[in-house]
Structures are given as C-alpha cells and as structure tokens.
Amino acid sequence: MKRFRGFTLIELLMVIVIIGILVSVLIPRFANSREKAFVAAMKSDLRNLATAQESYYYDYAAYSPAVSQLPAFNATTGVSVTINEASIGGWSGSATSSSTTRQCFLFVGNAAPVGVSTQEGQVACN
C-alpha cells in the first residue's frame, strides 16, 4: 500500500477558521487606530496653524482671516482647516477630516470659543 502525504480537508478548514477568527479580532483594532491617526493629524494641523498665525501676527499686527494668506501653513492631505474668526485680538479655527466624523477646534485670544473648545490655546476634539 502506498501512503499519501498531505493535509486532510478537515485540517485545512480548521486553519481557515482560525485565520478568520484572528482577522475578526484585529479589524476593529485597526479601524480604531486609523481614527486615532486622523484625529492626531487634525490636532497637529491646528497646532501648526497656531504657529503660522503667530508668525503672521508679528508681521502684520493682526491675525489672518484666511488660511490662504498663511504661506508657512500646509494642511495634511485629507484634512480641511478653517479659520472661523480672526481679529486683532484673537482667532478661532476648526479642522475636519474626510475620513472621520470627528472635528477639532482651537481658539486664541478674545475670539469666541468654537465647538467643544473651552480653554484658550488647547485643541479640543469631539
């Protein structure tokens, strides 16, 4: 009698089931990590906007009302940054991402707080 070497169909199915279980556990963790990365990008962009606004203020003695007037600022791909209010005494801005429903907000000086932002100079996200 010849003896055939190899895996049986049951063994192969068990391996596929185990791989499926591992993937179903890892996908939610991966999705959560992606959202955290997008929120971190929005926070970083708002901090960079604050730096660009301060640079603009030192040159023109007022804050810029438009992102396009800040040549030193470039938003991350997929992140949209908006200056909501700008005056001599302060500014406020918000950031949104096309990949998440969360938003981040920041205000400086006497500008009205935006969104969930409650402390001046602190980026807050919902």
pLDDT tens, 71-116? Answer: 889 999 999 999 999 999 999 999 999 989 999 999 999 999 999 9
For residues 66 and 70, what is the distance between their CA atoms, to the nearest angstrom?
7
pLDDT band at 2 (very low <50, low <70, confident <90, very high): confident
In angstroms, the CA 6 to CA 126 distance is: 55
Work out whether the CA dihedral 76, 40, 37, 83 comes out positive or negative: negative
**pLDDT value for 97:** 94
pLDDT tens, residue by residue, 16-75: 999 999 999 988 888 788 899 999 999 999 999 999 999 999 999 999 999 999 988 999
pLDDT at 110: 93
- With 0.85 as the threshold, say if the pTM is over it: no
Instruction: With beta carbons less than 8 A apart as the criterion, state whether 46 and 82 touch.
Output: no
Alpha helix segments (H runs only) across 1-126:
9-60
DSSP class of residue 7 equals -
- List the domain boundaries for the chain: 9-125
